[in-house]
């Protein structure tokens, strides 16, 4: 399996090289040359535990890693998760890292049982082990520079802390992540971890990362690597849980297809579901669920992709106005025509807006559907699901659930992705339920009073480049 850039300027490369490249050298994003059709494997895959399913999916895209080595990388990655017993009505035995539980009209897929209580752990534990494996083969070093709106930073740190040959520089928007998210990052004092509190927004941090990666002499001299969802391996690891969530839900309900509702900021998580659908998973629709920062919902409603101002919300990991992974969808939408993608992206860079025509069925895509939940809807959804179904949702999951309930459907079961543990957002839980004590977790309690370290910097690419250079 080889990988190509959405902008057409990179010769096809194998998986390991794609992982280490991160952002394509022409400024685009890497994608496999094709997606395998796995419809004839679904019945067999549906009986597998999570780790074995992950191996079967990933091996299709990582054929330059010996299978025994890949199986061990996958095993180590999910050993870090807190095992959760399956729901009583599920047929298989043994604890699983990604449980799926019914809650009233929806099914909740809990993705927060990793080290940092966020869905990013599913991919970043895998990517950390993958980096260490590839670097061990080559004897090289890697300096990871990552932008975070909250959860990616802590998951990257916990996936890479103490790893041989790796340093990690995390840029988070100062004052725009939750206190728990900040503590999870800044309380890690390993010598290879550097937390940068950046003046500005997540979009500023993301822009700076892309600027550093686009400066090829700097990237090469300082051996930069990426763990944001611009890295294909991040998306690949997330593809797995769409298969898993669909299998568990179809097993429970007897349905032949499912839908998903995905709280979305950078479009990476929902794009992973889109890949699963392209591979043959029976997905009827993917609800692209946004908060007030609704550039993606507006696009899939109107066809206009237009940058706006970032609005701080209760779901800070979604407070994004420029979604990096949208370019991957554009590439597929354009029939893999890199020239069209370059023209669209150049137009967006110049004007802050592009417009695409609708398909014959009146949509922009037959699978992707827009959804939006503002602060009032988010709080009401948290309150209602706790009161009526005993399910405590973090504000990101609540956006997804609210959008799912508002989206027109055809009666198929809907799986809502729960992307973080509610203990990471006690203020939102308190506002919704009146009881802050509901949002607790031993891992969060252990952070209180921990020593911290961070480095304040302006939202300036040169300042960040100088900071990285001085430490590499």
Residue 219 among the catalytic residues = no
Nearest Cα to Cα of residue 146 among 25, 324, 397 = 324
The answer to whether the CB of 258 falls within 8 A of the CB of 273 is: no
**Active-site residue among 16, 120, 164, 210?**
120
Domain segments of the chain: what residues? 1-118+231-445
Spatial neighbors of 282 by CB under 8 A, at least 6 apart, are 42, 246, 250, 256, 257, 258
pLDDT tens series, the chain, 472 aa: 999 999 999 999 999 999 999 999 999 999 999 999 999 999 999 999 999 999 999 999 999 999 999 999 999 998 878 766 555 555 444 458 899 999 999 999 999 999 899 999 999 999 999 999 999 998 889 999 999 887 888 999 999 998 888 999 999 999 988 888 899 999 999 999 999 999 999 889 989 999 999 999 999 999 999 888 889 999 999 999 999 999 999 999 999 999 999 999 889 999 999 999 999 999 999 999 999 999 999 999 999 999 989 899 999 889 888 898 999 999 999 999 999 999 999 999 999 999 998 888 889 999 999 999 999 999 999 999 999 999 999 999 999 999 999 987 778 999 999 999 999 999 999 999 999 899 999 989 999 899 999 999 999 999 999 999 999 9
Classify 260 as helix, strand or coil.
strand
For the question of whether the overall pTM of this predicted structure is more than 0.75, the answer is yes
Tell me the C-alpha distance between 291 and 286, whole Å: 16
Tell me the C-alpha distance between 380 and 399, whole Å: 10
| Burial class, 303, CB count within 10 angstroms (exposed 0-12 / middle 13-18 / buried 19+) | middle
CATH number of 1-118+231-445: 3.40.50.1100
């Amino acid at each position: 399996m080889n990988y190509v850039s959405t902008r057409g300027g990179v010769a096809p490369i194998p998986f390991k090289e794609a992982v280490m490249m991160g952002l394509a050298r022409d400024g685009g994003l890497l994608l496999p040359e094709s997606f395998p059709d796995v419809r004839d494997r679904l019945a067999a895959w549906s009986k597998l535990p999570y780790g074995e399913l992950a191996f079967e999916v990933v091996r299709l895209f990582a054929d330059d890693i010996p299978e025994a080595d890949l199986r061990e990388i996958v095993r180590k990655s999910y050993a870090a998760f807190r095992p959760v017993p399956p729901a009583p009505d599920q047929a298989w035995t043994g604890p699983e890292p990604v449980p799926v539980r019914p809650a009233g009209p929806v099914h909740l897929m809990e993705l927060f049982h990793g080290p940092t209580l966020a869905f990013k752990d599913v991919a970043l534990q895998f990517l950390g082990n993958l980096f260490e494996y590839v670097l061990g083969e080559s004897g090289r070093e890697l300096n990871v520079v990552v932008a975070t709106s909250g959860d990616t930073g802590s998951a990257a740190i916990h996936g890479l802390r103490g790893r041989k040959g790796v340093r990690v520089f995390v840029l988070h928007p100062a004052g725009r992540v939750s206190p728990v998210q900040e503590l999870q990052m800044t309380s890690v004092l390993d010598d290879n971890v550097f937390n940068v509190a950046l003046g500005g927004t997540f979009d500023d941090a993301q822009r700076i990362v892309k600027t550093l990666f686009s400066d090829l002499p700097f990237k090469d001299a300082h051996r930069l690597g990426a763990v944001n969802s611009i890295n294909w391996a991040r998306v690949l690891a997330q593809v797995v849980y769409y298969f898993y969530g669909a299998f568990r839900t179809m097993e429970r309900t007897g349905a032949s297809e499912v839908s998903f509702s995905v709280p979305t900021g950078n479009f990476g998580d929902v794009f992973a579901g889109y890949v699963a659908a392209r591979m043959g998973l029976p997905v009827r629709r993917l609800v692209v669920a946004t908060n007030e920062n609704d550039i993606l919902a507006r696009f899939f409603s109107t066809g206009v992709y237009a940058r706006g101002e970032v609005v701080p919300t209760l779901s800070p990991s979604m407070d994004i106005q420029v979604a990096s992974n949208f370019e991957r969808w554009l590439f597929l939408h354009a029939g893999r025509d890199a020239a069209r993608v370059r023209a669209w992206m150049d137009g967006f860079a110049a004007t802050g807006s592009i417009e695409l025509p609708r398909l014959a069925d009146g949509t922009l895509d037959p699978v992707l559907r827009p959804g939006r939940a503002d602060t009032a809807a988010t709080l009401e959804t948290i309150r209602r699901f706790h009161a009526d179904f005993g399910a405590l949702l973090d504000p990101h999951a609540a956006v997804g659930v609210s959008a799912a309930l508002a989206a027109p459907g055809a009666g198929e079961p809907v799986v809502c992705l729960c992307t973080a543990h509610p203990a990471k957002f006690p203020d939102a839980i308190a506002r919704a339920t009146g009881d802050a004590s509901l949002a607790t977790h031993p891992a969060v309690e252990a952070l209180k009073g921990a020593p911290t370290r961070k480095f304040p910097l302006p939202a300036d690419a040169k300042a960040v480049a100088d900071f990285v250079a001085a430490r590499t």
